[in-house]
Structure 1
């Protein structure tokens, strides 16, 4: 197998990107939610400033597009997608550590003394002898999704440096604030990309690719009560917090995140605030089937109407919103995309591992907007944790995957 992507170079690129703290800010409604997402976008763009065949743009929302002109115009146009932000689970600056020639033992994170243990993460043993990138224990690594940016950048570098490698128009699209509601993808003009299909790199261990995710939405309920002094409250006091609790008790007991797996959906009560007079309840809704998703919304509507009949229509409100869709319907319309992913993996001696994803990604918004977009591995493990780790060879192969899919786009791959 020809090695096209240099391991040391892609590791250096990735670690350089991790030094820019792009933690998204959930309570900031601006896009992007932090200025450093611009800074990272500008760094990526600067790396192609002297390349005549690559055009770049960054808009006011930090949505960034790098366009590599086709050298074979008859080939499909492909868009690579990655997101600029990292999860708000930990906002500390990243100090990446490269563990060379991993020996199969627990990995000690130097700043905290915490360990990434083989007992907790037995998949570590798949990478004995390889280099593994971790944090020092004080932050997230940010492989979600800076590993994707590095993989795409190095793939484009290769195509620029090797004009004999045939390709159609290639676009790298960097999107802000995926971690806090897939905001960047929702602000993207998908039609302007003029691409035939897309590839997100926002997933999992080597060989994994997403064939389906769930429908996702949210509900926000507000409750108004009536206050009274407790010594004379009988028949007067209406406790808004207890009305909110009635909603919680009316939800199916076994349909919670901690009690579900696989293709089972849930209601996730994730925030309750308030007092006797005013209370707010927030609930996430998830289901793999559109019928199931709609029935979850209908149940909340029914509960709301029952409470309104008891406490007054003006005192109970329900706001429902859709977050993203299941990509399965869109991908099923173009089975050649998944076929190319599978064939690319086989060509690179990677075992294909289809994944039903209990989550969403930028493609969950981009696919329903008309651009079928599959999600493939970056190679990282344990996202959103100080114990996140990235095997270097998996990262290199993620970049090779992009090149292999581009190469396969010149031919018809049986679905």
Structure 2
């Protein structure tokens, strides 16, 4: 049995280290503070008995659990990221442990009256009677993805301590900067040398995912012309008005708050401007590759349409693809999804196979030659003050890792 207290202690030791990444940084890792947990993890892997533990100049960590069977079996991997989102503070995380959750409101912060309520977050009710870990409501928790990191380390420790569980060679990898879309950019797939892998980076118990968004980032610069307002007739060009026109010309109902399932969207993430210049930042998401390309074309056509009304270009749009739907790379090797599904069923977990409305390191790694579906890590409400994780889900995720290793050796 996985020790509940041991797992909680390990998880808290991770989330109390600030590892927030920074999209504006050009270094890897994007923040120096990510090294604090990276070095801790490398040392911990050595302590529990992992072999070939390495940490490179960019803070990518790898380690090996040697095979304990006398036959050739595939080498599999388990991967998680240790950075946390820049969307909300990850500094001075104060975890709170709620034993035997009764199914009602959880008061996270009495002073600021911050309440985690099942009336708003309905998934909470399914964890009645379990142990929940939250914050005090002033920071995120970091279960995305320190829960995954904790589960992998704990699973490897368990397998080392229980050699009666037969498995092939297992590789583990921990990455920085996943939250800013760069987690796999410098991942050495050749060095990792696994036949396939799983990211432990999903949400609720049972999730098993091998589809994700196609993704692009868009930077739009709108150039205006500042003139004294008393003499501006026929001369001033207000970039903020043009920005407003651009925003309002996109489909209003094709935004994150109006879409679900396989529906894609345009998402305005930032706006900053004055009369002379306004900058817009968007992300484009769609599971269907043709629809994804069409969304990019909509933005470029809108740019051309607005520019055609002026005697010079005023809108400058730059689109950069970020990652693609990994389904294309997973479908030819669907047995790796089947193994994970079987592992869950043998542990009496109902698999919930769905498409990710986002991306993981696995989506990029799959295109780099390492097929990499995604498995639940247990957390909910990522990137904000209401993030929580049921400890029982983390224990089940740890058991899934061990069971996948066992089933792969039996294939």
Q: What TM-score do you get using the length of structure 2 for normalisation?
A: 0.93
Give a deviation string over 1:203-260, Cα, whole Å, max 9, x none: 1111112232111101112122222222222222222222222322322232122222
What's the counterpart of residue 4 of structure 2?
7
- What pairs with 1:22-41 in structure 2 (closer than 5 Å)? 22-41=19-38
What's the counterpart of residue 172 of structure 1?
172
How many angstroms does 1:349 deviate by? Answer: 0.5
1:209 and 2:208 correspond: yes
Relative distance call for 1:236 and 1:50 in structure 2 (3 A) is closer
What's the counterpart of residue 87 of structure 1?
85
What's the counterpart of residue 240 of structure 1?
239
CA contact (8 A) 2:90 2:142 kept: no
What's the counterpart of residue 218 of structure 2?
219
Relative distance call for 1:102 and 1:253 in structure 2 (3 A) is closer
- What pairs with 1:69-80 in structure 2 (closer than 5 Å)? 69-72=66-69, 74-80=72-78
CA contact (8 A) 2:189 2:370 kept: yes
Distance 1:344 1:174 in 2: 23
Distance 2:236 2:353 in 1: 55
What's the counterpart of residue 349 of structure 1?
348
What's the counterpart of residue 63 of structure 2?
66
Per mean C-alpha deviation after superposition, the further-off stretch among 393-402 and 280-289 is: 280-289
How many angstroms does 1:104 deviate by? Answer: 3.0
SS in 1 for 2:298: helix
Distance 1:104 1:315 in 2: 55
What's the counterpart of residue 114 of structure 1?
114
Relative distance call for 1:91 and 1:17 in structure 2 (3 A) is closer
Distance 1:207 1:80 in 2: 17
How many angstroms does 1:287 deviate by? Answer: 0.9
CA contact (8 A) 1:111 1:137 kept: no
SS in 2 for 1:267: strand
SS in 1 for 2:410: coil
Relative distance call for 1:244 and 1:399 in structure 2 (3 A) is same
CA contact (8 A) 2:211 2:354 kept: yes
SS in 1 for 2:306: helix
CA contact (8 A) 1:111 1:138 kept: no
Per mean C-alpha deviation after superposition, the further-off stretch among 283-292 and 307-316 is: 307-316
CA contact (8 A) 1:240 1:275 kept: yes
Distance 1:108 1:157 in 2: 35
- What pairs with 1:307-318 in structure 2 (closer than 5 Å)? 307-312=306-311, 315-318=314-317
Distance 2:58 2:225 in 1: 43
- What pairs with 1:263-282 in structure 2 (closer than 5 Å)? 263-282=262-281
- What pairs with 1:319-330 in structure 2 (closer than 5 Å)? 319-330=318-329
Give a deviation string over 1:53-100, Cα, whole Å, max 9, x none: 511111121111122222336111111111111112123311112222
- What pairs with 1:136-155 in structure 2 (closer than 5 Å)? 136-155=136-155
How many angstroms does 1:289 deviate by? Answer: 0.5
Give a deviation string over 1:149-174, Cα, whole Å, max 9, x none: 11000111122223332222211111
- Aligned residue pairs, count: 408
How many angstroms does 1:111 deviate by? Answer: 5.8
Give a deviation string over 1:14-42, Cα, whole Å, max 9, x none: 11111211122233232212222111111
Cα-Cα RMSD: 1.9
Unaligned runs of at least 5 residues, structure 2: none
CA contact (8 A) 1:21 1:36 kept: yes
Distance 2:118 2:251 in 1: 37
